[in-house]
Amino acid sequence: MRSTMMDVPLLVSSVLRHAAQYHGETEVVSRTVEGPIHRTTYAETWRRTQRLANALAGRGLHIGDRVGTLAWNGYRHLEIYYAAAGAGYVCHTVNPRLFPEQIVFIINHAADKVLFIEPSFVDLLQTISDKLTTVEAVVVMTDAAHMPVSWTLSGLLCYEALLAEQPEQFEWPVLDENEAAGLCYTSGTTGDPKGVLYSHRSMVLHAIAVCLPDVFALSACSTVMPVVPMFHVNAWGLPYAAAMVGAKLVLPGPKLDGASLHELMTAEDVTVTAGVPTIWMGLLDWVEAQGQTFGRLQRVGVGGSACPPVMFQRFRDQGVDVVHAWGMTETSPVGLVNRPKAGDGARSAVDEAAFSAKQGRPIFGMEFRVVDAAGNEVPHDGVASGLMLVRGPWVAAGYYNAERGVDDAGSSWFETGDVVNMDSRGYVQIVDRSKDVIKSGGEWISSIDLENIALSHPSIQEAAVVGRPDERWTERPLLVVVRRPNSNANEDELLAHYEGKVARWWVPDSVVFVEELPRTATGKLLKTRIRELYGPEPR
C-alpha cells in the first residue's frame, strides 16, 4: 500500500534555500585567494547562487552536463556547489594538487563543459588548455580587478562580471532525487582515477548523517571550518551539513599552514573543524610551539588516514575532542565514527589509547561486513581480520563511464579494499589497506599500528612502514621516518621503542631516516612510492 505522505524529492538546492530562509543572517566567512577575509551570509549566498544558476543555464547547458572546479574552500566555490547541482548540472570538483596530466585525464573523462578556476590556477590552465577536449568556457573565480592582464583576449570569463549581468531570481527545477549532483574522482593510487557520481538523494542523506550528535554534532550554534578541501569528497559533506542546520561556515581558502589556520579559527570562534592527520600535525606543532590555545574549538574530525593515538592525546591536552572517522570517495565519505557509547565510563590511559586507534562504529545508513577470502564473515572479536564490505544509500554502486557501470553493480556489497577487525560492540579498526598490509611468514602485520608507535616517540615527526621483500618471510617491515628538528634519535633507540608494545616479529627490521615522505595530493602517505624508493633492496 502506498503511503499517504508527500513525495518531495531530497534536492541539494533545498538545503541552501532552507539556510537562506531561516538562517539568512548566519555568516559565511572565507579567506580569499586574493588575500582579504571575505564575509557574506546564507541569504546573500542564495541570491548570488541564483545569479550563477542563471549564468550557467544561459550558456545552454543541459541537465546532467558537468561543471568542473579547480578551487580552494571559499564562498565562490560554495556558490558553484549549489548553483551547478541545483540547476540540474553536475558539480565536478577537481583536485588542483594532482599532476597536470591527471587533471587533463579527469576533466576530459568527465567531459566538463564549463570550468571554474581560481585566479592562481590561470598559469596551470595555460599549460593544459590545448589538451582539454570538452571545455567550452573557463570562468576565473574573481572580479575584474584581479583578472589576468590579457584576459579579454584570452577568452577567459570573469566570475563577478558573469554574475553582475544576471537576475537574482532563478526557477529551480524539481529534479528526480536520484539524478547526479556531484562528481569526484578517486585519487588513482591503483590505476586511473575513477569517477563517483553522487545523487541529490545521497548528498542530502549523507549531510543529515554528518550533523548527528555522534558524528560531527552540528547545530545552529556551531561554527564549522572544513579544512578538508571541497575537492576532497565534498569536504566530507560539511558545506551541505552546515547550511542544513544553519551553522556559521568558515572557509580557509588556500592557506592551510598552522599559523594561518590558527589565526582564522580563533578570530572566527570556530567550534568544529575536520581534516586529514597531516594538516593537524602542522597545526598542533605550531600551537604548542607558540604556547597558544585553540580558542573555542570543541571538536576536530580526523579521517582520510589513521589518526595516531598521540594526536588524540595532544588535542585532548588542549581540551579539544577528537572525532576519528573512516570514509572513502566511494562512501560520500563518512561510514565509521569513533564515539563512545553510554556506560563506557572512564578508561585507563592505555585503554584510551587503544580505543582512540579504532576508526569507530557504523553510523545509521551504512551496513558493514568483514569477510575472509572465502567470503565468510569473520568473528567480531576485535582480533580476527578480514576484508571490509559496505552497503548503503550513500555508497557508490559503480563508477562513472566505467566498465563496471551503475546498472550491473546494483546494490550488492562494495569492497572497500581495507583489511579490518570488528569487536563485539561494533567498533572497527583498520588494520591496513589490503595492498599495504605486510605479509610476514604467512601472518599480517599492520603498518598503521607500527606507524602509530613510531609517532608516539617524541623525536618522530612523520613515519611510514612498508613491506620490504624478504626471501625467508615474504616481507619484513621497514620503518621510514622524518625526525623532528634538532632531534637525533638513532635506529637502536627507535627499534627499542617497540619493545613490549608489539610481538617481537612485528618489530621493523631497520629504519631509514629521510627529510620528507612522499604524499598523495590529499596528504596521504604514498606507500607505492615509498616502497619504490626504500623497499626493494636492503641498505
Interface residues with ligand ADP (CB under 6 A) are: 186-187, 189, 303-306, 324-329, 359, 416-418, 430, 433, 524
Closest approach, Cβ 377 to ligand ADP, in A, equals 20
How many Cβ atoms from other residues are within 10 Å of residue 524's Cβ?
16
CB nearer ligand ADP, residue 252 or residue 275: 275
Closest approach, Cβ 520 to ligand ADP, in A, equals 6
- CA-based nearest residue to 174, from 64, 6, 14, 2: 14
Catalytic residue among 34, 286, 444, 474: 444
Closest approach, Cβ 363 to ligand ADP, in A, equals 13
Enumerate long-range contacts of 254-262, CB under 8 Å, 24 or more apart: 254/31, 254/33, 254/72, 254/118, 254/120, 255/31, 256/227, 256/282, 257/282, 257/286, 258/282, 258/283, 258/284, 258/285, 258/286, 258/287, 259/286, 260/31, 261/227, 262/286, 262/287, 262/290, 262/292, 262/294
Alpha-carbon distances of 58 from 48, 162, 170, rounded to whole Å: 15, 10, 11
- Residue 75 pairs in a beta bridge with none
SS3 assignment, position 131? helix
How many Cβ atoms from other residues are within 10 Å of residue 368's Cβ?
19
Closest approach, Cβ 26 to ligand ADP, in A, equals 29
Q: Rounded CA gap, 3 and 498, in Å?
A: 60
Q: Rounded CA gap, 92 and 109, in Å?
A: 11
Closest approach, Cβ 367 to ligand ADP, in A, equals 16
Q: Rounded CA gap, 3 and 444, in Å?
A: 51
Closest approach, Cβ 305 to ligand ADP, in A, equals 5
CB nearer ligand ADP, residue 159 or residue 312: 312
CB nearer ligand ADP, residue 140 or residue 390: 390
Closest approach, Cβ 338 to ligand ADP, in A, equals 8
How many Cβ atoms from other residues are within 10 Å of residue 45's Cβ?
24
- CA-based nearest residue to 218, from 244, 190, 255, 192: 244
CB nearer ligand ADP, residue 391 or residue 524: 524
CB nearer ligand ADP, residue 210 or residue 306: 306
Catalytic residue among 79, 268, 330, 475: 330
Closest approach, Cβ 335 to ligand ADP, in A, equals 9
Catalytic residue among 49, 69, 93, 186: 186
Q: Is 330 a catalytic residue?
A: yes
Closest approach, Cβ 18 to ligand ADP, in A, equals 28
CB nearer ligand ADP, residue 68 or residue 304: 304
Alpha-carbon distances of 524 from 303, 518, 519, rounded to whole Å: 10, 8, 5
Closest approach, Cβ 310 to ligand ADP, in A, equals 15
SS3 assignment, position 324? strand
Copy the grid coordinates of residue 110. Answer: 568527465
CB nearer ligand ADP, residue 272 or residue 428: 428
SS3 assignment, position 328? coil
Catalytic residue among 27, 160, 439, 528: 439
CB nearer ligand ADP, residue 187 or residue 199: 187
Contact (Cβ atoms closer than 8 angstroms) between residue 85 and residue 64: no
Element (H, E) at 421: strand 414-422
Q: Rounded CA gap, 255 and 98, in Å?
A: 17
Which stretches does DSSP call E strand in 150-237?
157-158, 180-185, 195-199, 223-226
Q: Residues 6 or more apart from 25 whose CB is under 8 A from it?
A: 41, 42, 43
What residue number has its CB nearest to ligand ADP?
187
Q: Is 171 a catalytic residue?
A: no
CB nearer ligand ADP, residue 328 or residue 395: 328
Scored b (16 or more CB within 10 A) or e, 136-173 reads ebbbbbbeeebbbeebeeeebbbbbbbbeebeeebebe
- CA-based nearest residue to 221, from 299, 320, 291: 299
CB nearer ligand ADP, residue 356 or residue 416: 416
Region of 4 please: left (phi>0), alpha (psi -120 to 50) or beta: alpha
Q: Which residues are catalytic?
A: 186, 330, 439, 444
